[in-house]
């Protein structure tokens, strides 16, 4: 059984259909591709997993969904724990101009001093950055000043760190 097909099925079942799944899958995939791969999963199992219109899981689909749900519901949490235990990390959520025009020079210096450092950048509006930072335990940059690049100090940055327990 193909694990990728199971992942797609998980999103279809969780979000009530293929259209809902496509909107929520964390990587780009088109509706026809999802439909085709779900059809291959159903073919390999020899049964239909759900009724298309209106969407409803079949008894077999419900059994499969209940079996795979704990794995896919918790995979991001486990991955985060593993990442956190492996090396220091910094998460930054900021507008595109900050990520593209202000941070690269400073982050090169950080990377030179700490090569194992894990860096996560997320492009977001201020409101989205606040939500993302609260969820991921990241630093929020509220304002940026060109003085930040004079020397090694982070002058001109105002931020806060939030923590999230898993």
Task: Report the pLDDT value the prediction gives residue 132, as an integer from 0 to 100.
Answer: 64
Output the six-digit token pair for 58.
Answer: 């079949």
The string of pLDDT tens digits covering residues 56-66 is 999 999 999 99
Q: What is the mean pLDDT of residues 131-150?
A: 48
Tell me the average pLDDT of the chain: 78
* Confidence at 34, pLDDT banded by 50, 70, 90: very high
The string of pLDDT tens digits covering residues 86-126 is 667 777 777 888 888 888 888 888 888 877 777 778 787 76
Output the six-digit token pair for 106.
Answer: 């400073």
Number of C-beta neighbours around residue 122 at 10 A = 15
pTM: 0.54
Element (H, E) at 119: strand 118-123
């Amino acid at each position: 059984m193909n694990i990728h097909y199971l992942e797609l099925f998980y999103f279809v079942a969780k979000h009530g259909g293929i259209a809902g799944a496509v909107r929520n899958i964390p990587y780009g995939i088109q509706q026809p591709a999802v439909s085709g791969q779900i059809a291959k999963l159903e073919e390999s199992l020899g049964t239909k997993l759900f009724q298309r219109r209106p969407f409803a899981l079949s008894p077999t689909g419900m059994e499969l969904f209940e079996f795979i749900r704990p794995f896919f519901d918790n995979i991001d949490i486990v991955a985060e724990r593993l990442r956190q235990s492996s090396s220091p990390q910094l998460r930054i959520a900021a507008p595109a101009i900050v990520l593209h025009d202000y941070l690269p020079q400073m982050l090169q210096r950080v990377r030179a001093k700490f090569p194992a450092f894990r860096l996560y950048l997320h492009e977001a509006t201020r409101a989205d950055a606040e939500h993302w930072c609260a969820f991921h335990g990241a630093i929020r940059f509220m304002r940026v000043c060109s003085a930040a690049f004079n020397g090694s100090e982070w002058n001109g940055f105002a931020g806060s760190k939030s923590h999230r327990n898993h």
